[in-house]
Amino acid sequence: MRRWILTSWKVPELRDSSDASTPGPGVTGLGIDLEYVARFAGSALAPSTAFARQVFSARERRAWNGPAAAASAFTAKEAIAKALGTGLCLRRGPGVPCRDIEVLVDLAARNVAVELRGAAAVQAARLGAEGGSAWCWCDGRVACTIAALFSGNGGSASLDAGLASVRRGIQGDRGIYETGLGLVSGTVPPTSPIRTRASAACGISPYFWRISA
């Protein structure tokens, strides 16, 4: 199986249609991650492995419903950890422990729920983040998540503006898929389904989550 390797922790810059040089107001962190679903279907990352037990919480493992959901949940953890500016670790840093970012993915219900705790919640508070969003896509072959953290400055108006900015970035002609692919080494197959939003069979609606430290 061919692998893509992230070559940088740099997060994509979301382009506001009215100002291409700055992210939307109140956005304190952005992160993106992509994984092949097939990788999570193999024996190396199966639910019975140390990887599954150590990276996913008991609640996440109970919600484990196949490799697509597992790949989506992992990309969400990773994207949020990048938005936090830390990356992931198991227990010893650098990074926030994987299980401090709990992600419950329900592909059938098109829903993803996120809860930050421990070091992840502390880091979010340190950044001044009050809430965030995670957008997950999975077409059965590739899973992708974009995560954004929003500051509390301005309260809900700022959060709404941040969300609107991110949505514009995703929906723009130079959408977030291509921005995300810029972080990936190697050549993207011309027929890659993640280039075409319309072919995504099981995208998940944006889910807004609030952080409670």
Which residues in this chain contact other proteins in the complex, by CB under 8 A? 1, 3-6, 35, 39, 42-45, 49-51, 53-55, 74, 78, 87-95, 98
**Cβ 105 to other proteins, closest distance in Å?**
16
**Cβ 135 to other proteins, closest distance in Å?**
19
Q: What is the DSSP string of 13-56?
A: PPPBTTBTTSPPTTEEEEEEEEEEGGGGGSGGG-TTSHHHHHHS
**Cβ 47 to other proteins, closest distance in Å?**
13
**Cβ 85 to other proteins, closest distance in Å?**
15
Q: In whole angstroms, what is the distance from residue 7 CA to residue 54 CA?
A: 24
Is the previous residue joined to 94 through a cis bond, with omega within 30 degrees of 0? yes
Q: In whole angstroms, what is the distance from residue 203 CA to residue 82 CA?
A: 21
CA 11 to chain centre: 11
Whose Cβ is closer to other proteins: residue 58's or residue 157's? 58
Whose Cβ is closer to other proteins: residue 44's or residue 198's? 44
Whose Cβ is closer to other proteins: residue 21's or residue 48's? 48
**Cβ 151 to other proteins, closest distance in Å?**
26
Whose Cβ is closer to other proteins: residue 90's or residue 201's? 90
CA 81 to chain centre: 8
Whose Cβ is closer to other proteins: residue 44's or residue 109's? 44
Residue 205, phi-psi category: left (phi > 0), alpha (psi -120 to 50), beta (remainder): beta
**Cβ 206 to other proteins, closest distance in Å?**
24
Beta bridge partners of 104: 113
Tokens 């500016």 belong to: 85
Amino acid at 88: L
Whose Cβ is closer to other proteins: residue 93's or residue 155's? 93
The set of residues, in sequence order, having a beta carbon less than 8 Å from that of 42 and lying 6+ positions away, is: 1
Antiparallel, parallel or unpaired: β 142-151 and 27-36? antiparallel
